[in-house]
Amino acid sequence: MIEASVKNNRRTDGPTAERLLKAQGGYSIGDDKQGTRIYHFHDTPLDRLYSRLVRRAGSYQEQQIRKEYVALQQYRKHWYCAGLESSIGSVDLDRIFASDPGSMSGMAKTERQAYHRQQYRLARDGKDGKGGLGHKPGIVVDNVVCAETSLEVAGWSIGYNSRTSARDNAERILRECGQKLASFWGIG
């Protein structure tokens, strides 16, 4: 058994061999400038896609790809902070069909959530029919960025039938939306 060295309640020897194997090469190693290696795992479909795109890109393309990635991450941040992520609630078996008006299901519970919902909706739907991602592109972005489903599933959800066309078209739509969101939020 290998004992992990612990410094300030943190492992200093890195991830286990099983974790590295499970990542299938989808990680990068950085440095915290204090002698410790930092492992960044690319577990989400968005992380895997953009890490692959950056590896293949030239310097100008890399800058554009990073803008798209940051914009899509900001979109996810607004979605998450708006409280739109699904949760698993507990079940009260005695009151299965009883309503609970106190929980205000579907409504923002704080001003912060209301702000993030407004930002999310502006990015998704636009304002006065201007801007926004649109319905089908919004489905792809919500599937890949927010729900973390694969590009293939996102492509299937908007009507592409074959694996390759679903994946390729979902990637194209996602990249276009990333560019649109970067422009919308002024990410330069």
The count of structural domains within the chain is 2
Q: What is the model's pLDDT at position 2?
A: 41
**Range among 9-13, 40-44, 127-131, 142-146 rated most confident:** 142-146
Lowest mean pLDDT among 7-16, 28-37, 46-55, 59-68: 7-16
Q: How confident is the model at residue 101 (pLDDT cuts 50, 70, 90)?
A: low
Of 165, 118, 170, 168, nearest to 142 by C-alpha is: 170
How far apart CA 81 and CA 114 sit, in angstroms, is 9
Give the position of tokens 């795992």.
41
Q: What is the model's pLDDT at position 18?
A: 83
Q: What is the model's pLDDT at position 38?
A: 77
Q: How far apart are the first and last CA of the chain?
A: 49
Of 120, 138, 145, nearest to 45 by C-alpha is: 145
Residue 73 shares a structural domain with residue 121: yes
What is the pTM for the complete model shown?
0.76
| Residue-range definition of the domain harbouring residue 126 | 45-86+109-185
Residue 63 shares a structural domain with residue 24: no
Q: How is residue 147 written in tokens?
A: 């729900």
Q: What is the model's pLDDT at position 175?
A: 94
Residue 56 shares a structural domain with residue 132: yes
Q: Is residue 129 part of a domain?
A: yes
Q: What is the model's pLDDT at position 19?
A: 75
Residue 23 shares a structural domain with residue 56: no
Of 188, 186, 184, 156, nearest to 170 by C-alpha is: 156
Radius of gyration of the chain (CA): 20
Q: Is residue 104 part of a domain?
A: no
What are φ and ψ of residue 97, in 5° steps?
A: -100, 10
